[in-house]
Each structure stands twice: as C-alpha cells, then as structure tokens.
Amino acid sequence: MHRLNKTIRWEVIEIKKIVIVLALLLFLSTVRVFAGDIPESIMMGEQQALFIGEIVDDSDETYNIEIIDLLMGHVSENQISVKKFSYYGNTLEPKIGDYVVAVLIEDNTIHNSWIFKCTSTDYRTLKLVSRNYNMVKRYEQYINQGKYQEAQRNLEKNETTTSITNIQQEVVEDINNSLSTRRNIAILGFSVLLLAVLTYMFILRKTKK
C-alpha cells in the first residue's frame, strides 16, 4: 500500500512537470509569434507613424531625431525628442549622425524595442544594421519595396471610401426624409381635399332638400 501511494505521488509530480513544461513552451511560442508579426502588424497603421530619421542631438536622457522620410502615418513636427534607447539587433551605441528607422507610438514616444540603425535615408536601398534575423529581413524587404507607403495609401483609400459611403448614406437619408415629408404633405392635402369635397356634397344635398 505504501509503495502504491509512493508510485501515485511520483506520477502526480511527473504530470505536474509535464504540464509546466507544456505551458512554458506554449508561452514562448506565443511570444515568438507575436514578435515575428511586427513587420506585418505595422502595415495595419495602428501606430502614429513609421519614419526614417537622423539623430541630430544627444542630451543626458534624450535623443533628438529629425524625421527625414515618413513611410506611414503622420507627425506634427519634423523633429522629435525621445527617451534614450538601444538599437534592435546590435550592440552599437546610438550617436549623432546615425540614421534610424523607428515606429512612433505617439508624440515623442517611439517603440523602444523596435528601432533600427540603418545605412541611409533612401528607403529603396537602405540596409538595417542588425543580426540576420528572419523578421528583420522581412522588415528590410518591405521597406525597400515601398510596402509601407502602399499600406498607407490603402488605409487612406479605405478611409476615403468609408467617408464617401457615409456621405452617400446621409444623402439617401435626407432624400428619404424629404420624400417622407412630401408623402405626408400629399396625404394631408388629399385628406383636406377629400374632406372639402364631402363637405360640399353634404351642403349641396342639404340645399336640394
């Protein structure tokens, strides 16, 4: 009996270990999938902007970056001040004169874990200075091929289409309201006319009597 209980406890411990390992593997695979989707998720336009810029000033806590080429989104200023960051995919220290590709989350706030040093400001030929990760290759390829500008145009086109559709719906509603009003006026006019005719016939009949 004692040996049986010991065996059961051992099996329970082994099952717990297996569950923990499986949960850890699931978590790690989820993290990898999420990270690997960054180049594609940027095309959805949920960030404020994607840009190529140059570090033009370096203070104790911030870098000033001049925005040279806007690939997606919009910015209110041509120069932003952001908290100091480290490059993705290399151990180089950011310095004045570096060209960067960065994602702007909101004014003066960039995606600190996804900022790259690059070789130039020409999106068609620039190279990302990074270890040779697959998602970095995809990111660089999308940039070189102008995929992010294309995604921005599609977003704007969809917004315009949505806006036109909304205007069309408003026009249709106005027409329907106008037709409804005219219909009500016509019904009221017909009712008044019918009442007048009936009244006239009633008076005429009374007169004949």
Residue 201, pLDDT > 50, answer yes
When pLDDT is averaged across residues 144-169 and rounded to a whole number, the result is 80
Contact between residue 143 and residue 155 where contact means Cβ atoms under 8 Å apart? no
Residue 31, pLDDT > 50, answer no
What is the model's pTM? 0.62
Tokens read off for 196: 């007048």
Beta bridge partners of 109: 106
Mean residue pLDDT across the chain: 81
List of E strands, the chain: 49-58, 62-73, 79-83, 99-106, 109-110, 116-118, 128-129
Q: How far is CA 196 from the centre of its chain?
A: 64
135 exposed, middle or buried (CB, 10 Å; 0-12, 13-18, 19+)? middle
Please tell me the CATH code under which domain 41-145 is placed.
2.40.50
When pLDDT is averaged across residues 96-106 and rounded to a whole number, the result is 97
